[in-house]
Amino acid sequence: MDKKLNELKARLQAELRSVQDSEVLAQIKNKYLGRKGELTNILKEVKNLAAEEKPRLGKLANDIKFELQSLLDKTEKIVSKPSGAGVDFDPTMPGSRREEGHLHPITLVQRDVEEAFAQLGFGIYDGPQLESEFYNFSALNIPADHPARETQDTFWLENHNLLRTHTSNLQVRMLEKYGAPFRGIFPGRVFRYESTDASHDHTFYQLEGLMVDKDISMANLIAVMKSLLSAVFRTKVDVRLRPGFFPFVEPGFELDIKCLVCGGNGCSVCKQSGWVELMPCGMVHPEVLKFGNVDPSVYSGFAFGLGLTRLVMMKYKIDDIRLLESGDLRFLRQF
Ligand SMILES: [Zn+2]
């Protein structure tokens, strides 16, 4: 019986060496280990052996059975691999989900606003963030000794250059380049040298608008603002217009909207007042038109500086401006 078992083992090993597909393997498995398989038959004989031989040969037979079984399993693993793959690969396994990025809330709102203005015939323009003192201040009727400069804490650079404090720096640049009539918006990043809190950040976004043509009046400005706000919020928004002083507009106004974060009850965003300053606006000052080589006796226009970041905070009810530039994924994944 010893001999029989060892001979059987050797035969099986030889047969397995040439196995290429799982069908042949199954046949071999059946031939040796099936219900009427060769090894199964040998194992059945164990019970007929003499009592003193039983334990030794029974153990040997079982050992060989175990050995053959693991040999078959190993071969099965090799045979079932797709050819050439070299690694375990299961085409029926669900794939791993790839994480997709998405647009920043500021970009989302900016696109809404751009679309609303494009429908009104406004072009969308971009310009330098590193600006000269001239375009950021002087050309906007804010000379060096003007107190309005102090209200905009500025990051000064060398040679009277600065990081623009508002997107208004493009008003004169655009008029110089394109002349009148002109209709455009300039969204972009602006910078203030100030300490940060829930409603102030050193870097934020504005969206400047400028329309210059013959017979432009405040009525045109108000009509444009109304269509803008309804496009962005898609709901009724309470607004109020207060007289405001900005050197580059005359007359100037401050357009406020009722705080959408607290519904007008007072919160950290609206500094407990219930209203949020959304944009300074007004009729373009004749001096600014002159700086842009546009004749103020022929043309007039309006301009506004929309606080894009603030608009985003209102729309999504975000109560801390610092979250927007934080890069915190726990925040960003909510949009
Ligand atoms: Zn509020």
Instruction: Report residue 84's pLDDT band, with 50, 70 and 90 as the boundaries.
Output: low
Q: Could you tell me if 216 and 113 lie in one domain?
A: yes
Say if 24 falls within a structural domain: yes
Task: Tell me, in angstroms, the distance from the centre of ligand 1 to residue 234's CA.
Answer: 19
Q: Could you tell me if 186 and 59 lie in one domain?
A: no
Task: Tell me, in angstroms, the distance from the centre of ligand 1 to residue 110's CA.
Answer: 22
Say if 264 falls within a structural domain: yes
Say if 183 falls within a structural domain: yes
Say if 95 falls within a structural domain: no
The count of structural domains within the chain is 2
For residue 19, is pLDDT > 80?
no
Task: Tell me, in angstroms, the distance from the centre of ligand 1 to residue 258's CA.
Answer: 8
Q: Could you tell me if 51 and 124 lie in one domain?
A: no
Q: Could you tell me if 53 and 186 lie in one domain?
A: no
228-269: pLDDT as tens digits: 887 777 877 888 889 988 889 999 999 888 888 888 899 888
Span 64-70, average pLDDT: 84
278-334: pLDDT as tens digits: 888 999 999 999 999 999 999 999 999 988 998 898 889 888 888 888 888 889 888
Span 4-19, average pLDDT: 81
User: Do the strands 300-307 and 239-243 form a parallel or antiparallel pair, or are they unpaired?
Assistant: unpaired
Q: pTM for the full model?
A: 0.66
Q: Could you tell me if 11 and 145 lie in one domain?
A: no
Q: Could you tell me if 116 and 245 lie in one domain?
A: yes
Q: Could you tell me if 115 and 209 lie in one domain?
A: yes
Distance CA 309, CA 204 (A): 6
Q: Note the helical H segments in the chain.
A: 2-17, 22-33, 38-45, 54-80, 105-119, 133-136, 170-178, 218-233, 286-291, 308-316, 329-332
Q: Which of 101-110, 111-120, 226-235, 245-254 has the lowest average pLDDT?
A: 226-235
Q: Could you tell me if 132 and 272 lie in one domain?
A: yes
Give bridge partners of residue 162 from the DSSP assignment: 131, 156
What is the Cα gyration radius of the chain? 40
Task: Tell me, in angstroms, the distance from the centre of ligand 1 to residue 257's CA.
Answer: 10
Task: Tell me, in angstroms, the distance from the centre of ligand 1 to residue 212's CA.
Answer: 34
Q: Could you tell me if 225 and 160 lie in one domain?
A: yes
Say if 26 falls within a structural domain: yes
Burial of 288 (0-12, 13-18, 19+ CB in 10 A): buried
Task: Tell me, in angstroms, the distance from the centre of ligand 1 to residue 324's CA.
Answer: 18
Distance CA 172, CA 293 (A): 9
Say if 55 falls within a structural domain: yes
Distance CA 178, CA 156 (A): 29
Q: Could you tell me if 109 and 76 lie in one domain?
A: no
Q: Could you tell me if 17 and 131 lie in one domain?
A: no
Span 146-164, average pLDDT: 86
Task: Tell me, in angstroms, the distance from the centre of ligand 1 to residue 30's CA.
Answer: 79
Which residue range forms the structural domain that includes residue 14? 2-80
Task: Tell me, in angstroms, the distance from the centre of ligand 1 to residue 93's CA.
Answer: 50
